[in-house]
Chains A and B, each alone.
Chain A
Amino acid sequence: MRFIRLTIPLILAFLFGVFGFGIQYVPSPWASNTKEFIALWIRVIGGVAMVLGTYSLAHLHTTKIRRKQEGWGYSIFFFLGFAMMVVTGVYNGGQWFWNAQVEHSVYDRLYDAFYVSAGATMFSLLGFYIASAAVRTFRARSLEATLLLLAALILMVGRVPIGKAISDYFPTVSEWLMQVPNVAAKRAIMLGVTLGTVATSLRIMFGLERSYLGGGD
């Protein structure tokens, strides 16, 4: 059992890791085709997992309705929305789902009128959250916070036309802040992230890291 649950996955992780690393350096159509083929399999497995995901979603909302949990009424809308999209998607404006998707069908209209609008509404909330987060961040409680506040003020003023009207230095300094300290910090994080990514990959490839298999060390 341990062999199936642990040893085989570790061997596969090592083999695929070494193989994936190796073919990056082989400049032949065979290598690029193989990469595409593996990517295709990931998509196929993803497609199968999607069924599980849909089941999970349906199970979650069924349980909520059955147990009359708080907000269970919203779960009814999940099933309504799900059924509507499936039915209109399958019907495909009278062309049925095996044909190319018909434009401006009911499915399209539902997507544009409900889904896109609801997404845009959620996204617009971000503006308010940014404002509230900014208020919290820009409280000059320490030296670092004061510096941050100053940098933010210069940057904001430098990015709007009034900044240039006040002084030519504002756009220049704000550009400098973006291009020098900001980029330096970004690159430092990226270097660390890159090394961390490689180290994590190696830990998985060499079987040092096994928690993704669910077991212990």
Chain B
Amino acid sequence: MELRAPALRWAALLTCVALAFCARPVASLAAQGSGPARTKGAAEPASETAIPAQGEGVPAPEPVAIPAPSFLVAEPTPNDNGTRITVRWPRLPSDREEEAAKAKWRYVVYIGVDPSWRWFECGALGADEGLITGEDISPFYPYRFSDGTEHFFIVSPLEVPGIAIHWLPAEKQSLDWLEGSRAALQQCESSLAVLKKTIEERELFIEKVARYRPVWEEKAKEQANAGTVFAWYLKSADKRERDLTEAIAAGRDGILDNLARYLLLNALIGAEVENAVRAMRAADLPDIERQLRDAEEAIRAEGATADRYDDYDRLSYARSLALIREAEADVAATAEKIVQEVLWRLDDLLRQAQLPPDLAKLGVQAESEAETDNAALAEALIDWHAALAKFERDSGPEAEKQWAEAQAGLDQAMRQWQGAMRSTVSTRLGAGKSVPPERDYLRPEISRLRPVVDACAARFRLMRKENERRPYCFRLGLATPTGERTKPFAFVASAAARPSLFDMSKLVNFIYAIGFTGAVLLMVVYVRHHPDVFVRRIPGLEAVDEAIGRATEMGKPVLFVHGLTGVGDIAVLASINILGRLARQIAAYDSDLLVVNNDALVYSLSQEVVQEAYLEAGRPDAYNPDNVFMVASDQFPYVAAVAGIMSRRQPAANFFMGYFFAESLILAETGAMTGAIQIAGTDSFTQLPFFITTCDYTLMGEELYAASAYLSRNARLLATLKAQDLGKSVLLAALPVGMGLSNLGLTWVKVIFTAYEKGF
């Protein structure tokens, strides 16, 4: 696609427009200021704070007088989930002050759900982070291009370590318990199946060895060398039998552990439900639903406080528990029935296994059924909730200590409960008094729990979403390199994260996309009035006629080979377009076309396209559906099949079109050996050298996409090639211009060529 005078004129014009654009967004966006829904910290008179002196024996850093920033702004940051907030504040008045300060302190950002509640540290600003300068404009900074006078810090509130929003961790915990109880049951079920197989394997092994053992024992006593071998056989057989027996004992212990764990998690959920019923101050589920609707209205209202969110979360959690309780109401399987069934099945298997006495002994000393203290478990849970609520609101070390103690207390209660239950189930198994269950409870229970877990997970996601979008407060403090913290500045800024309609980080990408689309449409309109479009000669496409003609003369078929990618790849669509045009020509020449496919969707598409092409060429009778076929869906079976077809059918011409991987060389080399004329087209630059080496003609990169237009000679399609030329001209012009500007120190120019950055 050669450039000619009009194209050059266009290129020059567009380069000027693009350069003009470079300047405009920077200037205009800088003037725009911040985005929506932000709250600025109160403009208090500048105060000063100082790093406190360190403890005795430690050399005290030089106290530094630090002016309070004149403002603190928090604003939502656009990103995929809309869950981030940017906090901004000004730099010190001069670069020198800023540089001098970096060695002595860093900024620390704090987050809280309410100014009067506990504050959590989001993180400290690194020495070289969070500063936007005029020389190094971050293209993905979403709101504007700054003049380099501000620091910024981006926070995902719920990702802040330690931040606790009471009902959210509680909901997550319940979900984990539910999931855990289902997993424990599932584990019991699969372990029983594995145990059965292991027992059968052991039986078979013992039986097999029993047949040979006398001979081995006899031989082991005989000659020296042979005796050693047979002694080794005997030793190995004993070891294998022992291993299998130990595996059976381990499987049994694992089942008992999982059973005890299931019972513990079940009891925890039960205790949580009971506690909630007492605490939720609601009569039933409809009552909770009603209260929840009111609470939702309250949080949607302007200026909703943290208390309103707390109410909403509490009721959401209460509803979750009420739904779990409701799901439990009409269940045939109780925990006792599950235990009965598992123990009976296990006992049955173990009787069959007849373990030796040392392994038959249960893993846990089980002389009597231990008492499980449900009240202690419930109490530990209540303490856990109370400590979490206190920790969320109070920032003192006392609350933190209580929280850690409550966590430890709950863990301890859970361990005790599970230990006692493990002892109980072991005792019941050891007593050998298990009775068969009335019916199968285990599998239906596993299936039943799945939707309950899914529903709980959905409710958790909903709660999390609400908490991601709630308003958060931010404060700013300082820290020395040794970790000392100052009293935070008085400013409190607040913002709620929320998704935006347009991702500003992709603005440059969007402008180019629209610009290129406009260029394509303009060229289409242009060729309507000037249909004489010049496109440079592409030898690979000029040779298509020759290849088809050769195949016709020789009476041999033409083979069309697709690449390995599916219809999602644009290269496949390009090759389908080429296939359509080739098929029309081949139909007109009355030659045979074989199309091999490795993707089911591409196969269906190819069949349709070839059939239509034959129809359009006026030769529907010549179309043979058996000639378009699927040969294999994987890479090397595909290679083997296509190479076989080449060897057997000896096609006169091979077309390789699409995206290829390692198979390219094997295919093309096999084709070359059969003496076929070969034309390849691929945008896979790693495979291009192989095709160039082995094929007669190769369409490189963009030529693959241009092929359809080239073959059709349709002016409207050729116009899009001219638009491509225009795009390349702009890029060609931009390269030296960009290099020049960068060398002059104008690095902002790179912003307009950073087409896509994921940003935050």
Contacts and interface: CB of A to CB of B under 8 A. Distances in A.
A186 to B, nearest CB: 5
Interface stretch (A83-91, A161-169, A171-179, A195-203): A195-203
Closest 8 CB pairs of A and B: A214-B612, A196-B705, A53-B600, A211-B580, A192-B702, A196-B702, A49-B600, A28-B499
Interface string A194-217: 011111111110101101111111
Given A45-B601, A119-B636, A193-B683, A202 B517 contact: yes
Nearest to B598: A53
Nearest to A185: B685
Nearest to B608: A214
Contact of A137 (B502, B574, B629, B693): B693
B728 to A, nearest CB: 6
Contact of B728 (A30, A45, A195): A195
A130 interface: yes
Interface string A90-130: 00001100000000000000000000001100110110011
Contact of A56 (B193, B581, B630): B630
A189 interface: yes
A19 interface: no
Interface string B491-507: 00000000111110010
A12 interface: no
B634 A119 contact: yes
B576 A126 contact: no
A70 B648 contact: yes
Given A28-B499, A31-B80, A52-B600, 5 more contacts: A28-B81, A118-B640, A122-B639, A211-B712, A213-B609
Contact of B629 (A57, A70, A189): A57
B298 interface: no
Most buried by A among B506, B601, B632, B688: B601
A46 B701 contact: no
Interface stretch (B26-34, B230-238, B565-573): B565-573
Nearest to B669: A129
B638 to A, nearest CB: 9
22 contacts: A28-B80, A28-B500, A32-B80, A49-B603, A50-B633, A51-B600, A52-B600, A53-B600, A54-B630, A119-B636, A122-B636, A122-B639, A126-B665, A192-B724, A196-B704, A196-B724, A202-B520, A204-B573, A208-B524, A211-B577, A214-B616, A217-B717
Contacts of A136: 693-694
A57 B524 CA distance: 43
B79 interface: yes
A126 B727 CA distance: 38
B441 interface: no
A46 B600 CA distance: 7
B503 A27 contact: yes
Main secondary structure of the interface of A (DSSP, over half): helix
Contacts of B576: 211-212
Interface of B: 78-82, 193, 197, 499-503, 506, 510, 513, 516-517, 520-521, 524, 566-568, 570-571, 573-574, 576-577, 580-581, 584, 597, 599-601, 603-605, 608-613, 615-616, 626, 629-637, 639-640, 644, 648, 662, 665-666, 669, 683, 685, 688-690, 693-694, 700-702, 704-706, 708-709, 712, 714, 716-717, 720-721, 723-724, 727-728, 731
A197 B502 contact: no
Contacts of B721: 199
B689 to A, nearest CB: 8
A146 interface: no
A190 interface: yes
Interface in A35-84: 42, 45-46, 49-54, 56-57, 59-60, 63, 70-71, 74
Nearest to B716: A208
A66 to B, nearest CB: 11
Contacts of B610: 214
A134 B694 CA distance: 10
B636 A123 contact: yes
B629 A213 contact: no
* Residue with the highest number of chain B CB atoms closer than 10 Å, among A45, A53, A70, A126: A53
A201 B570 contact: yes
A119 B568 contact: no
Contacts of A59: 626, 629
Given A25-B510, A195-B728, A53 B503 contact: no
Interface residues of A, number: 68
Nearest to A214: B612
A58 to B, nearest CB: 10
A175 to B, nearest CB: 19
Nearest to A58: B630
A24 B683 contact: no
A113 B98 CA distance: 67
Nearest to A136: B693
A21 interface: yes
Contacts of B635: 119
A118 to B, nearest CB: 7
B604 A27 contact: no
Contacts of B616: 214-216
A133 B690 contact: yes
Contact of B685 (A52, A190, A211): A190
B640 A49 contact: no
Contacts of B702: 189, 192-193, 195-196
Nearest to A191: B731
A214 B634 CA distance: 27
A26 interface: yes
Nearest to B502: A25
Contact of A25 (B506, B524, B608): B506
Given A95-B193, A200-B570, A211-B577, A125 B666 contact: yes
B582 to A, nearest CB: 10
B693 A133 contact: yes
A134 to B, nearest CB: 8
A211 B716 contact: no
Contacts of B571: 197
A178 B705 CA distance: 27
Contacts of B728: 191-192, 195
Nearest to B609: A214
Given A193-B702, A195-B728, A211-B708, A53 B570 contact: no
Contacts of B700: 189
B580 A202 contact: no
A209 B503 contact: no
B609 A212 contact: yes
The CB with the most chain B CB atoms within 10 A, among A198, A199, A217, is that of A199
A213 B685 CA distance: 28
Contacts of A71: 644, 648
A196 B571 CA distance: 10
A67 B624 CA distance: 16
A217 B597 CA distance: 25
A181 interface: no
Q: Which of B616, B631, B636 has the most CB of A within 10 A?
A: B636
A184 to B, nearest CB: 11
Nearest to B579: A211
A104 B629 CA distance: 33
Contacts of B499: 27-30
B601 A129 contact: no
B693 A212 contact: no
A133 B694 contact: yes
A122 B568 CA distance: 27
A130 B731 CA distance: 35
A28 B683 contact: no
A197 B626 contact: no
A181 B232 CA distance: 64
Contacts of B81: 27-29, 32
Contact of B80 (A27, A63, A204): A27
Given A57-B631, A214-B613, A122 B640 contact: yes
A132 interface: yes
A214 B600 contact: no
Contacts of A202: 516-517, 520, 720
A27 B636 contact: no
